[in-house]
Amino acid sequence: MEITSPINTEGFETQPLEQFAESAYLNYSMYVILDRALPHIGDGLKPVQRRIIYSMDQLRLSSDAKYKKSARTVGDVLGKFHPHGDAACYEAMVNLAQPFSCKYPLIDGQGNWGDPDDPKSFAAMRYTESRLTKYSEILLTEIKMGTTNWTPNFDGTLEEPVILPARLPNLLLNGSTGIAVGMATNILPHNLNEIADALIHLIDNPEDVREKILKIIKGPDFPTSAEIISDPAQIKEMYRTGKGKIKTRAKYHLEKNDIIVTALPLYASGEKIMEQIASQMNKKKLPMVSDIRDESDHEDPTRLVIIPKSNRVDKEALINHLFATTDLERSYHVNMNMIGIDGSPRVKTLKTILLEWLEFRINTVRKRYEYRLDKVLNRLHILDGLLIAFLNIDEIIAIIRNTDNPKKELIAKFALSEKQADTILDIKLRQLAKLEEIKIKTEQTELNKERKTIETILSSEKNIKKEIKKEIKKANASPKLQKEKIPKHFQKLKSLIKNRLL
């Protein structure tokens, strides 16, 4: 019998298995929480969503660009920033494009991007095409203005933004869902006008009580037109604690003797509701209904017709029964859990979210103006050097022609900085001879005016808040940030398929 020698552990760190497993699982859970499942309060995005939007911006897929194959975007995201599965990345991209899942879509899709009856029925990424929506501009407009920190990508060959410089709290506008290790998030979407009004109110009244905000923001605002039937007191309590439940119900009206359903709760499938009603009819549990039809088309995206057996049927009792037994009524748990500006995950109240986002925005705007001020001061410094060059053009040309080290001579002769001397030497002789004093002084005047404006804004947080207020009002008034409709020809195609006319 062969006897094996014990493993030599000299030079290796040893620790109990229990301690190692605990440490490894903790690291894994923190990775899932911070880098996968929870959105950031600043731009309201998870890392994969942020990388998709940034990659599309790098591909120049703006709202007025030509559509490009979704496979190209997914390939760029995986190859440059997010080395994970292509199926999961594409599904995240689809969620940002579906108008029935996302109140203010960030991606404009062309092709089959799923259906409210089956959100996962979207075509493969080799078939669909996409570009960014105009709404995505609130996340990307200031990205090249020194507003965000950058971090190396997974292999250190590129840099990616840590947070996108959002002009509006996208987290509240579009909501978010996610399951991490030991925690989850479910934030419902809200109306842009209400959120903008609440932010302006907080800027003007930072110490105001929550009751005023809750009068402005009365509740969530879903992509569909379903009604919220929760008690207002419960909604207020949800906003005060960051947790709660919202109950929604389909919209309907009576048309002659029929019940017409015109709007469904979020994520409710008209096809599934039809199956639920038909199942009850087959089991003789719904004797008061004689027939059901789906008359949805491009003009009426949702139109479910429920036909009672006779005029004597109590329509109110019938629809209440259907609310209780089908997806015509649905509840949504709310858990406003997110990563704050301090980098820690925490459940936050509505007022805390708004105030913390304003703090994020104040820092972003300050960085933007500091970056611009630095550019202005650098340009003024260069113009000072060009003005000296204009006033001493002949002497400078002589130094350049006759001196072995003209840079050193220019700095010594005219008290120039190295940057000013380099700029003068980099100018072609023909351009140097054509320098015009009036143009230089006009540009100096304009830049000095801009410099004073920026310095005034940066002189106090109050002035920065005024700028934020103007930007919020401008964004709120812009029609391009409103929900983009599903193109009518796609809705017509859907109705034709349903009616088997193709």
Q: Known catalytic residues?
A: 127
State the DSSP string of 284-297: TS-TTEEEEEE---
* DSSP H/E element including 374: helix 350-391
Strand, coil or helix: 402: helix
Which neighbouring-strand residues pair with 115? 118
**What tokens appear for 161 in the block?**
């933004």
In 3D space, the residue among 459, 176, 137, 136 whose CA is nearest the CA of residue 345 turns out to be 176
Contact predicate 45/170, CB 8 Å:
yes
Strand, coil or helix: 147: coil
To the nearest 10°, the Cα dihedral for 294, 297, 303, 305? -40
Q: What is the bridge-based pairing of β-strands 150-152 and 159-161?
A: antiparallel
What is the Cα 47 distance to its own chain's centre? Answer: 11
Which neighbouring-strand residues pair with 308? 289
In 3D space, the residue among 91, 133, 87 whose CA is nearest the CA of residue 110 turns out to be 133
Block residue for tokens 């190396």: 152
With b for 16 or more beta-carbon neighbours within 10 A and e for fewer, the 347-368 pattern comes to ebbbbbbbbbbbebbbebbbbb
- In the chain, the amino acid numbered 499 is N
d(CA 60, CA 66): 9
Helical residues (DSSP H) of 99-153, grouped into ranges = 137-140
d(CA 143, CA 152): 16
Q: Which long-range contacts (CB under 8 A, 24 or more apart) does 155-163 make?
A: 158/80, 158/81, 160/51, 160/54, 160/80, 160/81, 161/50, 161/54, 163/40, 163/42, 163/43, 163/50, 163/360
Residues 6+ apart with CB under 8 A from 110: 67, 128, 129, 130
Phi and psi for 115 in degrees, rounded to 5?
Answer: -140, 150
Helices 418-426, 406-414: crossing angle, 10 deg rounding:
120
Helices 437-458, 461-477: crossing angle, 10 deg rounding:
100
Strand, coil or helix: 167: coil
Residues 6+ apart with CB under 8 A from 279: none
DSSP state at residue 127: T
